Amino acid sequence: MLRIFILFLLTIPCIPAAAQMQLQGRVIDAQTREALPGVTIQCNANGCTTDAQGRFTLSEPHRIDSIQVSYIGYVAKRMPAAQKGEMVIYMEPLSTRLNEVIVSAGRDKQFRTEAPIAISSISTQQLKETKATSLEQVLNKVSGVYMVDLGNEQHTMAIRQPIGYRSLFLYLEDGIPIRTTGDFNHNALIEINMAALKTIEVIRGPASSLYGSEAVGGAVNFITLSPTLLPTAKVQAEMSNQGYKRTDFSVSGTKGKLGVILGGYYANQHNGYIEHSDFHKLALTLKTEYKINDRTTWTNGISLVDYKTDQTGGIDSTNFFSKNYKSFHTFSYRMVKAFRVRSTLEHQWNAGNFTSFTAFYRHNEIGQNPFYAIKTTNDPLKARGEINSDAFQSYGLLVQHKKRFGWKHASLITGLSADYSPATYFANYIDVDRDAAGYFTGYTPTDSVLTDYHAGLLNTALYAQAEMSPIEHMKVIAALRYDRMDYNFDNHLLPSAFTGSPDERNYFHAWTPKLGLTYDFGHDRGLYANYSVGFAPPNISELYRGVKVPTLKSATYHNYEIGGWFSFAKNKGYVDVSLYRMDGTNEIVSVRLPDGSSENQNAGKTRHSGVEWNLRYAPVPSILFRTGGTYAVHDFVRYEDKGKQFGGNRMNGAPAVITNTEITWKPAFLKGIRTGLEWQHVGKYFMDPANTEEYGGYDLLNARVGYSIGGFECWVNCRNVADVMYAVTVDKSAFGKSYRPGPNRTFNVGVAYTFSAKK
């Protein structure tokens, strides 16, 4: 008996050696500090993947000395295994990889090479290294995109369209439009919190088959940060030589099933390069993710923006070319208050069924004393203007289900949405004082009301998108959406008023299909083609404001597109190219009237065609070269203005060539240093529909230098290095030319510190 007991004691130390070794850990994105699900962990012949929270457990009969970690779109790594405790693995995104994961093309995660559309992503790394003070500084890196900087985060957009102010672009936050359909504002991106962004995805061309009206020239989806896996906090401060100051902050972490992130910034501009151009903005975002179980996630988000800016318009050619950027407007302003709430419940029923339910609420108001509404009178010391307010609330829901089939890799996405948005518009006439030098010095409110109405906007929609692979390497996608827009207009004024349209109900509806296919030749090389339809109903202000009888129709666009992509030099670089033609019918065009004002009209037919390209190449790990651009032709096919026919003319405000090129260098012998030089080119374009005069365009150089070590980071950015004189927009009317001057040479200096727990 004693011998058996001694033998048992001698055997105990050997038991762990015979049992399986286990390695546990988590995988995290090195840029966002978010958990990475689906990462492959390999050791010898055994392997596993991370779960929704980035966790993994790897079992191996023998001792685990090292592991191989790989994930599409990230740098693969082999590393020694931790012999005790939980591993935390950080993965760096690849800068030249094409086959990235996107969500905007089909309202669900998929590889870029499976989407038969022109779509580009701005990565977390690009956002982090650019240190943009306004969104055009990153969006203009996307081929085919020209976001016009109107100062103080004010803007307008040109994607497969001329520079304009029409409702042809859809802006989304996590897949939900930030404004209601029917109440478009070209300055809508003021309402985005730049400090809370993870990535930006840009669809070029119609996306109405999934997202509905206004997604014509393109759709821009701003994807917000998710809670970090480990506790993280960041504070950032910067300033410029042009009177700009900004402070950012964020705090984030996950405890058990609940993750929370809070982030925002406060920006202030004082005494800029243009007179009367001060502004301030506060933006905050709170987001929570609660993992109810492995299959169910509940996500909530709240965004708040409080913004006010002085307004200044264009200047004449004499003042522009003499760099006398004075403003004749001393009291005009724009004020934006935006509040958004969304709640999304996602459930994975099984491997083939996934459902999401989103409810959202918006409250928005834009108040203005607009410079463009100030008109001179016969009295040289008097003028007229207005103070107006455009506001709405939204109550909406979006339900979507995706089903996968076990045949030909087929899947079906179906969804329905409803958005009820009661809106109001009020405008009051003001008497404006003007001095002998031409400055508008003050104003007196009056009892004269120009516009006072209430409109109930109801947008209901159904959509479906089917995918399948009829043969190996080919994917076919077909989508169809039905939208109905109901306007219930209630005018509080008499028919004789400036806005004298009678009370009435109007509705617009449309079927918008899409058919596309991709063929993957392997090795990140493939082709795609698609046909899609987009539509844009008139906005309530276009339809009713300053109108006696509403007459506008919806504009419809037919888009034909082919493209392709390929990697080269052993995945050191890739190229993607898109060719398109888009025909517009009943397109709503801003027409210049004899008194200098503008009016939107269904101006006939237009044609937009072009080629877009994007190239990335990293000859060595420390250098990345990137260039993207477009060559496009925008024509009036049939267009009449002031009794004159302009069919066959080029559309005004439509540069044929737009390019953005950048080279970045991160020297290996100076770890933590990054440098970049960017060239923005905007080609010449006509100032008016008659094509009587051209603006020559401009070229800008921007430089960036940054340094990071541990959690500390500092940078110096220089916009317009050569201090060139240029205008972001130029137009010509019966009253002459108007130039909107771009910024002079501007230096931004900033510092940041990130506190991050190690485990």
Q: What's the pLDDT score for residue 328?
A: 87
What integer pLDDT is reported at residue 1 of this predicted model? Answer: 47
Classify domain 101-220 at the CATH class level.
mainly beta
Give the span between the Cα atoms of 197 and 235, in whole angstroms: 15
Secondary structure (DSSP) of 40-63: EEEETTEEEE--TTSEEEEEESS-
Look at residues 749, 660, 752 and name the one whose alpha carbon lies nearest to residue 702. 660
Quote the CA–CA distance of 23 and 59 in Å, as a whole number. Answer: 7
Divide the 759 residues of the chain into consecutive groups of 10 and give the mean pLDDT of each group.
47 47 81 82 81 80 77 80 76 67 73 83 92 96 94 94 90 94 92 96 91 90 93 96 96 94 96 91 97 94 97 88 88 96 96 95 96 90 94 96 92 96 96 91 92 96 95 94 95 88 91 95 90 91 78 88 90 92 82 58 84 94 94 90 81 95 93 95 94 95 95 96 95 86 95 86
**Reduced to 3 DSSP states, what percent helix, strand and coil does the chain have, rounded to the nearest 5?**
5, 60, 35
DSSP, residue by residue, 209-253: HHH-TT-SSEEEEEEEPPPPSS-EEEEEEEEETTSEEEEEEEEEE
Q: What is the pLDDT of residue 58?
A: 78
Q: With contact defined as beta carbons under 8 Å apart, do 755 and 712 qualify?
A: no
Distance separating alpha carbons of residues 685 and 652, to the nearest angstrom = 7
Beta bridge partners of 58: 23
The string of DSSP codes covering 20-35 is PEEEEEEEEETTT--B
- Asked if the domains at 101-220 and 221-226+234-756 fall in one CATH topology, the answer is no
Burial classification of residue 539, based on how many CB atoms lie within 10 Å of its CB (0-12 exposed, 13-18 middle, 19 or more buried): buried
Residue-level pLDDT at 303? 97
d(CA 647, CA 641): 10
Q: Which CATH number fits domain 2-91: 3.30.1200.10, 2.60.40.1120, 3.30.420.610, 3.30.365.10?
A: 2.60.40.1120
- CA–CA separation, 339 and 393 (whole Å): 9
Nearest Cα to Cα of residue 166 among 678, 635, 720, 589: 589
Model pTM greater than 0.85?
Answer: yes
Q: Which DSSP string corresponds to 583-640? A: EEES-EEEEE-TTS-EEEEE--EEEEEEEEEEEEEEEETTEEEEEEEEEEEEEEEE-E
Residue 569 host element (H or E) = none
Q: What is the DSSP letter of 188?
A: G
| Residue 3 CB contacts under 8 Å (≥ 6 apart), including other chains | none
Position 2 scores a pLDDT of 47
Name the fold adopted by 221-226+234-756: Maltoporin; Chain A (2.40.170)
Q: How far is the C-alpha of 16 from the C-alpha of 9, rounded, in Å? A: 14
User: Rg (Cα) of the chain, in Å, rounded?
Assistant: 28
Q: Could you tell me the two tokens for 220? A: 């821009």
Ordered by start, the domain boundaries in the chain are 2-91, 101-220, 221-226+234-756
